A and B are shown apart, each in its own frame.
Chain A
Amino acid sequence: MEATLLRTPLYERHVALGARIVPFAGYEMPVQYEGVIPEHKAVRADAGAFDVSHMGEIHVDGPTAQEFLQSALSNDVDRLADGEAQYTLLTNDAGGIVDDLIAYRLGHGQFYLVVNASNRDAVYGWLKEREPRGCEVRDASDEYGLVAAQGPRSLERLGLDDAPAFSHAMGEIDGIEVMVARTGYTGEQGVELCCAVDDVVRLWDAILARGVMPCGLGARDTLRLEVCYPLHGNDITPETDAISAGLGWACALDTDFTGAETLRRIKEEGPARKLVPFVMEERAVPRQGMPIEGGGEVTSGTHSPMLDQGIGMGYVPVASATPESELVIDVRGKSRRARVVKKPIYRKES
């Protein structure tokens, strides 16, 4: 079966910039422009821009919206004030992760969810099916463009004032109206900018004109893995529960969301295995799917541009999950040693 790939409004820009284009979550997306390593280092040292317009945006509005999201999402929506956002999970009855997302409170009874591109239909369908009276769930993904600007100089380059992490407000960049959210997927200071879909090409051009380097999905993956942000589909899936994944902090277990009871039990009994970050002790690059001796598996792996060594995350039995535990990874038939570390794998020297 050959599915037609979609393109974000920035596709022509990516091609003109010489990007290498790959299929990702049903879209033709730039994996790199100049190269993964220079793009990665630009974000750690200065500022990089990512087209994330493929991500899904869902509005949940109405007098019962808050109560509904409190029952559907793992984190405590009641703690959000206007202008605040939180990382949260959509979980199934088994506590498995249907998606990880960011929920923004725009106003009383007005919420906006940014979800993974590959899970857009799943999340929308899940919420729409359970939508209560007094609440409307609406997939607005095609109405918005989304660009992330990340890095220690990103705010300065865009002329934005700093704001608390996970806050958001309306603003403008070179005359283009944007919702500025202090969120991201790189571990650096930065923003995610949401604008009307018709404005996103102008927004992208304005950001690059301010000296922000275009970055592809390749750097996005190495950046997030260095700081141990899970990737849905790799590290977390509908079959992996939030406690084993180390995402208990994003689960308000005293509230009654879907799967909460199962997660409370897993937490009480202790999970059989845990998602842990590790670094290679020998020269080798771990990759998704590689077996870990003793009954584990690598869920994400790459070469860390900052540490210049192989890094990854994987599920291992709890006995091997504590920092400094030695792991042995089967790298295409060769046993390679790795060591469990604390999160994050990479921390900026201060």
Chain B
Amino acid sequence: MPAAESYPDELRYHPEHDWARVDGDEATLGVTWFAQDSLGELVHYEAPEAGMTVAKDSSYGEVESVKAVSDIVAPLTGEVLEVNAKVVDAPETVNDDPYGEGWLIRIRMSDTSELDALMDADAYRAHVADQ
């Protein structure tokens, strides 16, 4: 079942519809409810590999629905510690649970000051309302 629209308060958001959950110098990244709803049911996750570096504002992978392909933009710079294999096997997990089981990668942040540039949930909700 697709998830209901939500933008959890504890996350940080990038305008390209990506979120980050910060834990010390690590962060878990994914795409927002809005992103998965715009794409429709996901059928493919072209994931980066552990050990690669992802750069803030640059694409680190792709998600595809039947009709469309979308770059996944990194909200933060860092080294990929883990790729969510569950989403590689079952991309629709992102539709079902975009902020939980549907996370995409876990990184070690290179520069925690980058967090200052991200939006809080209220700012992101306003951003989505403008789309």
Contact = CB atoms under 8 A, between A and B. Distances in A.
B44 A285 contact: yes
**A-side interface size class:** 10 to 19
Contacts of B53: none
Which of B41, B62, B67, B88: most chain A Cβ within 10 A?
B67
Contacts of B112: none
Interface string B63-76: 01111010000000
A334 B44 CA distance: 14
Which of A32, A218, A222, A303: most chain B Cβ within 10 A?
A303
A284 interface: yes
Interface string B106-122: 00000000000000000
Interface in B40-87: 40-41, 43-44, 46, 62, 64-67, 69
A222 B44 contact: no
B43 A303 contact: yes
A13 B46 CA distance: 37
Contact of A284 (B2, B40, B44): B44
Contacts of A310: 44
B43 A32 contact: no
A303 B66 CA distance: 5
Contacts of B44: 283-285, 303, 310
The dominant DSSP class at the A interface is mixed
Contact of A287 (B2, B41, B43, B69): B69
Contacts of A303: 43-44, 64-66
A308 B41 CA distance: 12
Contacts of A18: none
Report, nearest first, the 3 A-B pairs whose CB atoms are least far apart: A303-B43, A36-B66, A285-B64
Given A35-B40, A285-B43, A332-B69, 17 more contacts: A31-B67, A32-B67, A35-B2, A35-B41, A36-B66, A218-B40, A218-B67, A283-B44, A283-B88, A284-B44, A285-B44, A287-B69, A302-B66, A302-B67, A308-B43, A310-B44, A332-B62
Interface of B: 2, 40-41, 43-44, 46, 62, 64-67, 69, 88
26 contacts: A31-B67, A32-B40, A32-B67, A35-B40, A36-B41, A36-B65, A36-B67, A37-B66, A218-B66, A218-B67, A283-B44, A284-B44, A284-B46, A285-B43, A285-B64, A285-B69, A287-B69, A302-B66, A303-B44, A303-B64, A303-B66, A305-B66, A308-B43, A332-B62, A332-B69, A334-B46
